[in-house]
Amino acid sequence: MFSNMLKYLEQTVTRTPDRTAFYDDREKLTFVELMETAQRIGTTLAAHAHVRTPVALLMDPRSIRNIPAIFGTLYAGCAYAPLDIAMPPERLNQLLALLEPSVILADEKGMKAIQELDVKQQVVGYDAAASGPSDPRLLYEIRRQSGVYDPMSILYTSGSTGIPKGSIQTHFSYMHWTEATIEKYGFDSGVVFGNQSPFFYANSIIDIFPPVALGATVYLLPAGVLSFPRKLVECLKEHHVTELTMTPSSFIVAVNAGVLEPGCLPELRYGIMSGESMPWAPLETWMKATPNAMWWHFYGSTEMFSVAVGKVLGPPKEGERLSVGEPYAMTHILFVDEEGNEVPPGTPGEMLLSSPWVSVAYHRDAARTQTAWVTDPLGKGWHERFYRAGDIGYLRQDGQLVVLGRRDTQIKHMGYRMELGELEVALGSIPGWEDGCVLFDSDTGKIWCFYCGQLREKTICQELRTKLARYMLPDVFVHLQELPHTATMKLDRAALKAMMKGQ
C-alpha cells in the first residue's frame, strides 16, 4: 500500500496513460491528461493554500472537471471540500464559515454562485489553474512533507443542531477503503462505471478512487437524467456501462416509468444500492432487466463510508429482515445498550464501529467529535477508537448485519442523510412560526411537517427553500389548531404518527 492516494493515479498513468479515465457528453480526460491537469492545478493552489488545510470546491456537480480539481487539491497537499453550489446562499455562507478554507477553487458556475456569497477567501478560477504552469520541484517538496494521516477530504453532512458536520477522512482512510472495496466487489480494469451521484455527495467516491486505482473508465450520466428514465436506459446501453451505484429511490424511478424490459441491459454487471432500503418488487424488475448483473447493497455513512456489503441472492424469507451484508474483514462492530454495556450476540444494540476508513473527526468541532468517537468503550484497555453510528442493529448467526433503524432522528431522505432536528431549527427561524415538529414515515419515505399558527404552507415552503437543500424539505404539511401533548405536557409524537398512518 502507498503512503499517498496520488500514487494510485501515477501508477495507473505508467500502465495506461492514454486510456480514457473520465468522460461525459461534452469532454473527456485520459489518465495522463488527468494527472497533468491536476499537477497544474496543484501548483496554482499551492501558491495560496497551506498544506493540510481545506480547499473549497465550488463546481458544477456534474462536470468531469471535479476530478482534476480533487486531485489538484491533493497535489497541493490539501484536503478537498466539495460544496453544493445549488444550495441557498445563506447555507453556502454557513458552510464556508465552518470550513474556513485556505482558498476556493471555482469553475464558471461556481463563480456565479460566489457572486451571491460573502466570500473572504482567495478565489482561484478553474480554467486559469488548469492552464497554468506546473512546478514539479514544488510538488515534490509538498509530497516529501506529506504523511499518510494527512487530511484528504472534508465532506459535510447534516447536523441535528442546525450546524452541518464536516467529516474528515485521511489518505490512510481512502487507500484502505479503495483496496478493500475493489476486493469486495471484484472490480477490474474492464469495468465501465456509470456516475450518477454529484461529487459533493459521499456516494460519489466509488466512482472516483477505485476506477483511478484500477485504470477503469467512468462515464458521467447527464444531469437530470432521472427525470427522463428512458434516457437513463439509453445512456447505459450506448456507453456500455457495467457498474451503476444509485440510491434505491433513483432505481425505483426507472421502474415506475415502465422503461425496463426483461434483458434490456445485458452489459450491466454490478448494480449497487446505497442510502436506503430497497423494496423487493422494484429490485426484482431491475434484476430481470440485467440478467448478467450481481446486485449489492451496502451500509455506511459519510463518517464510515461503507462498512458492510451484501450481495442480493433472492427475496428475504417471510418475516425476516433484509440484511445489509457482511461487514468488511477490517471492520469491528460493538453492539451496546443504553448504558454502554455490550449486549449478547444476536441482540439488537447501538452500533459502535471501528475500521481503517472511519472518519477521524469533525472539522473544527471538538465538542461533537468527543461525543461521536470513543476509545476503549467497554473499559477493557483497548486502544481501538470507535465511532458511535447511532444505528440499532445486530449480527445474525450467518455473520450478516441487520440494521433496524436510527437511535435518534437521523434519516435518509431522497438518498441523502439528514437530521430532522436541523429541519426543525430552520422552521423555528421562520418569521411568524409558532409551533410544530417534523416526523419521517419510513414506509413511504416522506417527511411530514405538523404545525399550528397563522403561517400558510406556501410561505413556509418559500422560507425553507432559502435555508435548506431541496432534499431536506418536507413532503407533506398538516396544519393543526394545536399540537397533541401527553399528560406530562410532552409533545405526543405517537398521536402524530397515528395521524400519518390514518391519512
Nine cell digits for residue 42: 496543484
Question: In terms of DSSP bridges, do strands 103-106 and 28-30 run parallel, antiparallel, or are they unpaired?
Answer: unpaired
Pairwise CA distance, residues 87 & 467, whole Å: 8
**What was the pLDDT predicted at 433?**
85
Q: Which residue has the cell 495560496?
A: 48
User: Hey, which CATH number is domain 410-502, 3.30.420.40, 3.30.300.30, 3.10.20.30, 3.40.50.720?
Assistant: 3.30.300.30
Which pLDDT score, from 0 to 100, does residue 486 have?
A: 59
Distance CA 151, CA 171 (A): 7
Q: Please check whether residue 359 is in contact with residue 304, taking contact to mean a CB–CB distance below 8 angstroms.
A: yes
- Give the Cα separation of 95 and 441 in Å (integer): 29
Q: How many angstroms separate the Cα of 341 from the Cα of each of 304, 347, 352, 393?
A: 22, 12, 11, 15
Rounded to whole angstroms, the Cα distance separating 155 from 498 reads: 36
Please list, in sequence order, all residues whose beta carbon lies within 8 angstroms of the beta carbon of residue 330, skipping any fewer than 6 positions away.
176, 180, 355, 356
Alpha-carbon span 202 to 248, nearest angstrom: 16
84 Cβ contact list (under 8 Å, min separation 6)? 61, 92, 198, 200, 469
Element (H, E) at 422: helix 420-428
- Three-class DSSP category at 221: coil
* Angle (nearest 5°) at CA 41 between 36 and 44: 130
Domain ranges of the chain: 6-223, 328-406, 410-502
CATH fold match for the domains 6-223 and 410-502: no
Nearest CA among 411, 426, 493, 491 for reference residue 462: 426
- Residue 153's SS3 state is strand
- For the domain spanning 328-406, the CATH number is 2.30.38.10
Spatial separation of the C-alpha atoms in residues 335 and 391, rounded to whole Å: 10
Contact 75, 41 (CB under 8 A): yes
> Which CATH entry fits the domain spanning 6-223: 2.60.120.1440, 3.40.50.11720, 3.40.50.12780, 3.30.420.40?
3.40.50.12780
Per-residue pLDDT at 8 = 98
Residue pLDDT tens, the chain, 503 long:
798 999 999 999 999 999 999 999 999 999 999 999 999 999 999 999 999 999 999 999 999 999 999 999 999 999 999 999 999 999 999 999 999 999 999 999 999 999 999 998 999 999 999 999 999 999 999 999 999 999 999 999 877 667 899 999 999 999 999 999 999 999 999 999 999 999 999 999 999 999 999 999 999 999 888 889 999 999 999 999 999 999 887 888 898 889 999 999 999 999 999 866 677 878 999 999 999 999 998 999 999 999 999 999 888 775 566 788 899 999 999 999 989 999 999 998 999 999 999 999 999 999 999 999 999 999 999 999 999 998 889 999 999 998 877 776 668 888 887 878 778 878 888 988 888 889 999 888 899 999 988 899 999 999 999 989 999 999 999 999 888 875 434 678 889 999 998 76
DSSP state of 161: T
Three-state secondary structure call for residue 252: helix
Phi-psi region of 379 (alpha: psi -120 to 50; beta: other; left: phi over 0): left
Residues 104/121, Cβ–Cβ less than 8 Å: yes
State the pLDDT at residue 252.
Answer: 83
Query: SS3 for 390?
Result: strand
Q: What is the pLDDT of residues 219-247, one digit of tens each?
A: 999 988 888 999 999 999 999 999 999 98
Cα dihedral 234, 236, 237, 238 in deg (nearest 10): 80
Cα angle 166, 49, 215; round to 5: 70
3-state helix, strand, coil in the chain (%, to 5): 35, 25, 40
CA 253, 255, 258, 262 torsion-angle sign: positive
Residue 503: what pLDDT?
62
At residue 160, the pLDDT reads: 62
Which pLDDT belongs to residue 487?
47
pLDDT of residue 256: 81
